[in-house]
Structure 1
Amino acid sequence: MSQIEINSFEEFEKHIGQNLGVSEYLRITQDQINKFADATLDHQWIHTDPEKAKEEGAFGNTIAHGYLTLSIVPYLWEQIVKVNNLTMLVNYGIESLRFAQPVVVDSEVRLHAKLANITNLRGTVKTEMEIKLEIKDQRKPAFTGKLVFLYHFK
């Protein structure tokens, strides 16, 4: 894995339309799922009850919350791109997001990122990233989407 280093709007702009890279794989554990359930108060059995999920669930085991898989994007993103000279980074929005397949406990996932567009808004840099969360050894991704970040360079 090689990380891209960005120091300015001009350096970011050179990557429009390009795949920026792929993160390392990250295993999704039952402990992570349980902690996410506690944090979000979403204790639906398909996520937190391995016995019932194996017996009654459609996936043979527990699955990660969709929003848990989305919440790991910043961690995986930092493996792909390092942006320097910032005063602030803001998660601005999600233009589109489609959950295509559940992530079964102990699956490994990794992020693919492409810079779809970039705009300089008088010193604030708005980026639109096309992302895909791949599940190891699965044909369909966990999700695809377009995330919008605001970067404030020094």
Structure 2
Amino acid sequence: MQDVRFDDLNTLHSMITDEYGPWSEPVTINQKMIDIFAEMTGDHQWIHTDVERAKQESEFGNTIAHGFLVLGMSTIIKNSTSYRIVDHGNVLNYGLDGVRFVSPVPAGSSLYGRTRLRQVEEAKGGVMLTVGVAIHVVGAERPAVVFDWKLLYRG
């Protein structure tokens, strides 16, 4: 793993790529996680929480994870690049661009993700990195969620 200073713009620019890094370690989304998320958010739509009804009526044959739950898993599905940003004072989650919920995530599925550095720019007293993220159900060709993650690194 290569350590790269958060403000080493030349090195960071050289790492921008159209290619995603390797897959992260898989993380399983189980029904208990889905139910807890439903309680926390108030989103009790039956396609997420009613296992028996989902088996009978859902086109997926199972309950599915909330899109925002899958999106939130991006903090567990670690950066899959070959570098680590170092020597910053803090990093702020500045926002997400282009979030798309492409494919459902059935309860019991394992997820993994890949990332790539898309953009580097000086911004607001630090360096803003735009990291492309693709989260997939393990073995699925199409992603479940894709987005660009804006991270502001400050000294």
Q: Same fold (TM over 0.5)?
A: yes
SS at match of 1:54: helix
1:104 to 84, 96, 106: 106
Change (3 A) 1:48 1:4: farther
Residues in 1 aligned to 2:124 and 2:44: alpha-carbon distance in whole angstroms:
44
Q: How many residues align?
A: 151
Higher mean C-alpha displacement, 126-135 vs 12-21:
12-21
Q: 1:98 to 1:49 in 2, by over 3 A?
A: same
The match for 1:77 is 78
Cα deviation, 1:49-74, whole Å, max 9, x if unaligned, reads 11111011110100000000000111
Q: Distance in 2 between matches of 1:84 and 1:121?
A: 17
Asked if 1 retains the 8 angstrom alpha-carbon contact of 2:62 and 2:107, the reply is yes
In the TM superposition, residue 88 of structure 1 has moved relative to its aligned partner by 1.7
- What residue number does 2:7 align with? 9
Does the Cα contact within 8 Å between 1:96 and 1:147 map onto a contact in 2? no
1:91 has 2:89 as partner: no
Cα contact 2:130–2:151 (8 A) shared by 1: yes
1:50 equivalent in structure 2: 51
The DSSP-based 3-state class of the residue aligned with 2:68 is helix
Gaps of 5+ in 1: none
What one-letter code is carried by the residue in structure 2 that aligns with 1:8? F
Q: Bigger shift: 136-145 or 63-72? A: 136-145
Identity of aligned residues (%): 30
**Mapping of residues 33-44 of structure 1, within 5 Å:** 33-44=34-45
8 Å Cα contact 2:80-2:115 kept in structure 1: no
Map Cα deviations across residues 77-125 of structure 1 (whole Å, 9 max, x no partner). Answer: 3565643323221111112011110000111111110100011226411
Unpaired segments ≥5 residues, structure 2? none
Question: Counterpart of 1:65?
Answer: 66
Please say which of residues 99-108 and 70-79 is displaced more in the overlay: 70-79
Aligned mates of 1:131, 1:70 — CA distance in 2: 10
Q: Distance in 1 between matches of 2:148 and 2:22?
A: 15
Contact kept? 2:6, 2:153, Cα under 8 Å: no
CA contact (8 A) 1:21 1:114 kept: no
CA deviation vs aligned residue, 1:22-48 (integer Å, no higher than 9, x gap): 311111111111111111111111111
Provide closer, same or farther for how the CA distance between residues 9 and 77 of structure 1 changes in structure 2, counting only shifts above 3 A: farther
Query: Does the 8 Å contact 1:62/1:104 carry over to 2?
Result: yes
The residue number in structure 2 matching 1:26 is: 27
Give the SS at the match of 2:48.
helix
